[in-house]
Amino acid sequence: MVSGATQHYLDGPAFAAILFPIGIFLAYLSFIYRDYRNEFIFKKFLKITGVVILIFLALFYIAKQLPEGEAHGHDELQEVGH
């Protein structure tokens, strides 16, 4: 989710602004579950939630300033084959 949002940010900035923080949130939760399963700390959960919300707001603000871009090369491959 994070790499796809980064790669396609200029293609669909509003969608990528949503996808990127969700990917970070899920990655962090899976890391915490894997390594600190028995000592889950609510403060860590609140901190990452706050950080993810700030990232979302910043990216969404920037995304609203950018125009929607064109896809970069995915459709060109199909056109060459015809």
For 40-62, write each residue's pLDDT tens digit. 777 888 888 999 999 999 988 98
Output the pLDDT for position 44: 81
**Mind listing the pLDDT tens digit for each residue in 7-24?**
877 777 888 888 888 999
Contacts of residue 52, Cβ cutoff 8 Å, sequence gap at least 6: 21, 22, 24, 25
Query: Is 76's pLDDT higher than 70?
Result: no
Question: In which residue are the tokens 């509003």 written?
Answer: 14
pTM, two decimals, is: 0.65
Q: Note whether 6 and 20 are within 8 A (CB).
A: yes
